[in-house]
């Protein structure tokens, strides 16, 4: 039992693997970590892959001279940063870019069944097949860029996993309740049998004592 505990995901209530994939704004994956157990926290995977993130997020020379002189505070002393239509459109576009990873995973799981279904092979070969699927998904994204529907597909898949895990939990709870009820019934029956046995033994001993007194 202790061997499979590291693979248990508390979010989905299922046993599985977890992989971190880094995706560019254009929808192409540029990094894929080795798989780990489902119980591993996302932050722990990020820290183990911090060398890649440090290289990818390295600032350019032009980025080092950005200054904030606080001029907006002089223009809006009591009303901080009211958004224009252009600013709202920019934020909406930025929000879409931030879910690009979910869109990529949606495309990945739609194309390849081994990434969306139960893994039925040995664990040692998982990284090889998963990376191959990621590479082939990159080719597919080049031919057909990611869309919002891919993110919806991923959300449906994630919700399906949560639903399956919840159903399994409910089945386990019902199974435990049936076991507890059956065990209580067995103990009650054994207690009644033992009580009736001792009662009959005591009655027989009283009969023997009364017969002995009568003979005397």
Q: What is the pTM of this model?
A: 0.63
Rounded-to-5 percentages of helix, strand, coil across the chain: 65, 5, 25
Rounded Cα–Cα distance for residues 170 and 71 (Å): 58
More confident residue, 68 or 131: 131
Question: How does pLDDT run across 136-182, given as a tens digit for each residue?
Answer: 999 999 998 888 777 777 777 777 777 777 777 788 788 888 888 88
Answer yes or no: are the C-beta atoms of 104 and 27 closer than 8 Å.
yes
Q: What is the dihedral of CA 108, 112, 114, 117, to 10 degrees?
A: 80
Question: How does pLDDT run across 44-64, given as a tens digit for each residue?
Answer: 999 999 999 888 888 777 776
pLDDT score for 156: 75
pLDDT score for 170: 80
Answer yes or no: are the C-beta atoms of 4 and 15 closer than 8 Å.
yes
pLDDT score for 32: 93
b/e string for 145-175 if b means 16 or more Cβ within 10 A? ebeeebbebbeebbeebeeebeeeeeeeeee
């Amino acid at each position: 039992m202790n061997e499979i505990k590291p693979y248990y995901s508390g979010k989905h209530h299922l046993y599985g693997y977890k992989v971190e994939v880094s995706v560019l704004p254009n929808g192409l994956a540029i990094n894929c970590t080795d798989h780990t157990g489902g119980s591993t926290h996302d932050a722990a995977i990020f820290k183990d892959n911090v060398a890649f993130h440090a290289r990818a997020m390295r600032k350019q020379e032009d980025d080092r001279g950005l200054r904030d002189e606080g001029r907006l505070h002089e223009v809006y002393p009591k009303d901080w940063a009211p958004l224009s239509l252009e600013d709202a459109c920019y934020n909406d576009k930025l929000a879409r870019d931030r879910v690009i990873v979910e869109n990529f995973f949606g495309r990945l799981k739609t194309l390849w069944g081994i990434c969306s279904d139960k893994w039925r092979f040995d664990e040692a070969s998982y990284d090889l097949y998963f990376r191959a699927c990621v590479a082939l998904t990159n080719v597919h994204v080049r031919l057909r860029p990611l869309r919002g529907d891919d993110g919806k597909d991923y959300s449906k898949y994630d919700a399906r996993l949560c639903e399956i895990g919840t159903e399994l939990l409910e089945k386990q709870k019902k199974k435990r309740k049936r076991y507890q009820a059956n065990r209580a019934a067995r103990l009650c029956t054994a207690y009644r049998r033992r009580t009736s046995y001792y009662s009959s033994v005591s009655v027989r001993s009283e009969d023997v004592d009364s017969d002995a007194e009568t003979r005397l």
